[in-house]
Amino acid sequence: MRVLGVDPGLTRCGVGVVEGVAGRPLTMLGVGVVRTSTDADLGHRLVAVEQGIQQWLDEYRPEFVAVERVFSQHNVRTVMGTAQASAVALLCATRRGIPVALHTPSEVKAAVTGSGRADKAQVGAMVTRLLRLSAPPKPADAADALALAICHIWRAPAQNRLQRAVALHASKGRTA
Q: Which residues are catalytic?
A: 7, 68, 141
Backbone phi and psi for residue 118, each to the nearest 5 degrees, phi listed first: -60, 150
Query: What is the CA angle 15-111-24, rounded to 5?
Result: 85
Q: Which of 90, 108, 121 is nearest to 148 (CA)?
A: 108
> CA 81 to CA 8: how far, in whole Å?
8
> CA 58 to CA 110: how far, in whole Å?
30
Cβ contacts of residue 23 below 8 Å, gap of 6+? none
Asked whether 53 and 34 are in contact (CB, 8 A), the reply is yes
CA dihedral angle for residue 29, residue 25, residue 117, residue 119, rounded to 10 degrees: -50
